[in-house]
Amino acid sequence: MKTLTSKVLISLITAFMLSACSMTHTFPEDHGKITKVNLTQKKVATLITEAAKQNKWRITPFKYNELIAEKIGDASNDAVTITFSTHSFKLFPENSDLQDIISEALN
């Protein structure tokens, strides 16, 4: 009975810890705020994609909240991961040109 009680207690603590860890906020911090209201995740992805393509970036959807942006030029090649929510976005590695393009499209 004592072992059963301790196993149940350990199981409950483990379940609590796992559920608390999975509920953490995984969206980007305020590196690029989005001021337009009532945007869905899909609309944000569309706006980012259209703006980037107009500026000769190639966009590949990666996850529901991530895009891969690539720009191949004569002198250099750039690849950037864009993580976004309906309120903000983040670029990794940072790219000031793409940041400005996306900020203009979403604000």
Indicate the pLDDT class of residue 82, thresholds 50, 70 and 90: very high
Instruction: Please give the structure tokens belonging to residue 75.
Output: 């002198």
| End-to-end CA separation in angstroms for the chain | 62
**What domains can be seen in the chain, in order of their start residue?**
26-106 (3.30.310)
**Residue-wise pLDDT tens digits, 46-77:** 999 999 999 999 999 999 999 999 998 878 89
Measure the CA–CA gap between 31 and 33, rounded to whole angstroms: 6
